[in-house]
Structure 1
Amino acid sequence: MHFVTTGICLQFIGSIVQKLALVEGHTMPAQSTVSLAIPEARRSLARMFIDLTMAFHSTIFPLGQEPAELDADLVLVAVAVLLGHAEGHAMNASQIASHLHMPRSTVTARLRVLVERGLIVRIKDQYYLEPDRAANVPQRDKFELILSQGFAVLGPFLSKTDT
């Protein structure tokens, strides 16, 4: 199921890259041996995506207790819970599964891990950030640095899409 989730993320990144390429007047190359269109923006976007995924993952586990392999599905489920909470409509497992295009069984297993670790709470079949996490942003400086570095490069490209 990692492949489905990763595929969705890559489709999202691909759509942004295509927008950036069109703004710059580039066409998308058919072969990987062709020079990469807008390499700086694409590199920045890819780095920002990876860094944000790693940062979210690191907030799930205590320092020094991170697993050897990153679980992208766990990160996506945690971020979906955060999104529902932030938008004022917490989601249940089925809604999260639908939102992420992920099997409900995968979502339920990841929600169980997040509840066991004390990162989220379940109230009437809906999931919320744990109250302390809702009130505070773990590793906020790390997230701000990743976003500021990424948008320093992407900003000029994105502002061209507004015109």
Structure 2
Amino acid sequence: MKITSIKLVFTLAILTIITSCNNKYSKIEKANWFIGDWENASDEGSFREIWTKKNDSIYSGLSIVVIEQDTVFYENVSLEQKNDSVFYNVSVKGQNKDEAISFYLTSSDNDKLVFENPNHDYPSKITYSKVTKDSIVAEIFGLKDGKKITESFPMNRK
């Protein structure tokens, strides 16, 4: 009887270790759907985001705005899972001493990710929503000159 109990405890311990190892990066994996090349092209210009999976805990992104062959805006973005938290890190050359600003993943499901940084004026909230497998919408929210502003960036897979 005692040997059976020991085997049961040992088996449960092994299963717990395997399960926790397999779920180590489960939060960032909810963002797998926006890995790819996304674009919104119009007569005014092109907004583009390119996302790649760097490793199990970091996704690397690039946002670019091009108007008439000129890059007018460029930012580096990363999603990074540290322990149980996921961060959306944004850096723009010439802003914030070239340091990244971090937004914390506050909610997520299979079709939407919400990142927030209440200490940052604009944006203070960034969302990504999957419309279809080939269509997403990024939105930014916050205060600009004391007014609530929302900007929406619909994109299609390129």
TM over 0.5: no
Short-chain TM bin: under 0.3
User: Hey, which of these two has a bigger chunk of helix by percent?
Assistant: 1
Q: Which has the higher contact order (CA 8 A, sep 6+)?
A: 1
User: Which has the larger strand fraction?
Assistant: 2
TM-score by length of 1: 0.24
The structure having more radius of gyration, on CA atoms, is 2
